[in-house]
Amino acid sequence: MAGKPKLHYFDARGRMEAIRWLLAAAGVEFEEKLIESSEDLDKLRYVLSSFLLSKDGSLVFQQVPMVEIDGMKLVQTRAILNYIATKYDLYGKDMKERALIDMYTEGVADLGEMIMLLPLCPPDQKNTKLTLIQERATNRYLPAFENVLKSHRQDYLVGNKLSKADIHLVELLYYVEELDPSLLANFPLLKGLKTRVSNLPAVKKFLQPGSQRKLPGGEKSLERARKIFKF
Amino acid sequence: MAGKPKLHYFNGRGRMECIRWLLAAAGVEFEEKFIEQPEDLDKLRNDGSLMFQQVPMVEIDGMKLVQTRAILNYIATKYNLYGKDMKERALIDMYSEGVEDLGEMIMHLPLCPPDQKDAKIAQIKERTTNRYFPAFEKVLKNHGQDYLVGNKLSKADIHLVELLYYVEELDPSLLANFPLLKQIQLYPPRQGRRVARSWAPVTAQTTLGTIFFGREQPADR
């Protein structure tokens, strides 16, 4: 079980960023092998065997993210996140707490997915999509999480202890803020959670410039992704 | 912790079916409260029973759980279908998510605009044949065991077998070159569960459209 986890992805947030956040918040150092071209991706996908390229490489479903950890080559974001959370005690103390953590995490993922896919939206649909995101954030997701914190008045979402749910939510709050800071206005407890989690030493370090946290993509990043992943 | 789990959904497969499969395979009896009118959904929302205003929702062990994965993971843990340790759980999660990726494509097919349908079907067939089925066949081949993980039935097997039935419904020839997958489809014992729903996916999706979206095109929910 030697060495640090090794993350295989391209140099962008995408589906790997949640994993980077979780490892960082757990205080775990990790390495990154960045995919820079479609040839890099092919290398992961294929191995040369008997002069035949066979799809027997390192990616079970030919996709990234992939994380090498504890002798495994894990793919599928949720599989990776759940493993890390279990290993570093960020998954609650029993199955009922885990159910709540999963429920909250999936809600975060639903809104996060909308935000993540926004740059891929055709220009004529973008405004509609953005409005939908703002509406969902304001009327569905942010109130749900604010109410959880309100109901028990504890510092964290589940079991009075930091869990993956808090980390995923705080990461999302940063993205919501990037999109439109006014969206957080009426959610004081969420703002409190964001501050609290951001001040944890490991998270604070991750939030500094020069860390492995990735910046918003932008057009160039999207173009690069299109070339690598051919879409 | 009295009573059977209670499933809230409309009378169709949708996102609840994998939960029904898992409970059934675990030998757990459950009740269903069908949403038949928009008012039924409104009532659940106004009662505060739906954390994100969405179904599936399952009442189980004093909780009102929403989000399919949260529900599935809880059931799997409770009924010992989630492996023996965290490494097995990682494999089970990885395989479950792969099943879900393909399953999602198949589930959404009826919602596809007619002019895009053929292309979508072609993509599903391509992914099945070149990406997903080979991956699972390889897992079974590598260890030669009866089940995907830890030589024991887990949620991964149940989700996969459910998927195999849907692929078969779409195009039986897709299973042709995957003998180990065909074999796993014969496990686990059906445990006397009800025969596969013969309901037409299109009809159910129309119902879904009516309940959730009025009569408009289904938008992002």
Q: Is the peptide bond before A5 cis (omega within 30 degrees of 0)?
A: no
Residues in chain B within 8 Å Cβ distance of A61: 98, 101, 131-132, 135
CA distances in angstroms from B135 to A2, A63, A67, A167, listed in the order given: 27, 12, 18, 32
Evaluate whether the domain defined by B6-79 bears CATH number 3.40.30.10: yes
Which element (helix H / strand E) includes A44? helix A38-45
Q: Is the peptide bond before B56 cis (omega within 30 degrees of 0)?
A: yes
Whether the CB-CB separation of A82 and A91 falls below 8 Å is answered with: yes
Options 3.20.20.30, 1.10.3210.10, 1.20.1050.10, 1.20.950.20; CATH of B86-186: 1.20.1050.10
* A60 → closest Cβ in B52, B53, B135: B135
Order the strands of the A66-69 sheet from edge to edge.
A31-35, A6-10, A66-69, A72-75
CA–CA min distance A164, chain B (Å): 14
Q: How far apart are the first and last CA of chain B?
A: 32
Q: Spell out, as residue ranges, where chain A has pLDDT lower than 50.
A: 1, 49-51
User: Using the 8-state DSSP alphabet, how is residue B130 labeled?
Assistant: I
Cα gap B112→B121, rounded to integer Å:
10
Q: Taking a contact as any Cβ pair under 8 Å apart, which residues of chain B between 53 and 82 contact chain A?
A: 53, 61, 63, 65-71, 73-74, 77-78
Nearest neighbour of B53 by CB, restricted to A129, A132, A140:
A140
CA distance B99 to B159: 7
Chain B contact for A168 (CB, 8 A cutoff)? no
From CA A139, how far away is CA A188, in angstroms rounded? 15
Query: Which residue bears the tokens 């640090």?
Result: A4
Residue A142 pairs in a beta bridge with none
Instruction: Go through the domains of chain A in sequence order and give each one's CATH number.
Output: 6-88+208-229 (3.40.30.10), 95-199 (1.20.1050.10)
pLDDT of residue B88: 98
DSSP label at B187? P
User: For residue A76, what are its two tokens?
Assistant: 């599928």
Residues of A within 8 A of B96 (CB-CB) are 79
A86 touches chain B (CB under 8 A): yes
Identify the residue whose tokens are 């490892």. A23
Cβ–Cβ < 8 Å for B205, B111:
yes
Name the residue among A68, A170, A59 with its Cα closest to residue A112.
A170
CB contact A220 to B (< 8 Å): no
- Residue ranges of alpha helices (H) inside chain B are 17-25, 38-46, 68-78, 86-108, 114-127, 133-143, 155-170, 179-186, 201-213
**pLDDT for res A47:** 67
| ipTM over 0.85 threshold | yes
- pTM for the model stands at 0.91
Which of the residues in chain B have pLDDT under 50? Answer: 1, 188-221
For chain B, domain boundaries = 6-79, 86-186
**Residue A220: predicted pLDDT:** 83
Q: Do A132 and B220 touch (CB under 8 A)?
A: yes
Phi, psi values for residue B12, rounded to 5°: -160, 175
Length of chain A: 231
On chain B, the residues whose CB falls within 8 A of the CB of A87 are 86
CA distance B124 to chain A (A): 14
Chain B interface includes A60 (CB < 8 A): yes
Name which of A83, A99, A100 is nearest B86 (Cβ-Cβ): A83
pLDDT of residue B28: 97
The 10 Å Cβ neighbour count of residue B182 is: 14
Fill in the amino acid letter for A204: K
Instruction: Give the whole-angstrom CA distance, residue A148 versus residue A127.
Output: 30
Average pLDDT of chain B to the nearest whole number = 87
Give how far B134 is from chain A: nearest CA, Å: 9
Rounded distance between C-alpha atoms, residue B21 and residue B25, angstroms: 6
Nearest chain A CA: its distance from B201 CA (Å)? 24
Distance CA B97, CA A160 (A): 29
Chain B contact present for A98, CB below 8 A: yes
Neighbours of A193 (CB within 10 A): 22
Quote the CA–CA distance of B48 and B46 in Å, as a whole number.
5
Is the Cβ of B101 closer than 8 Å to some Cβ of chain A? yes
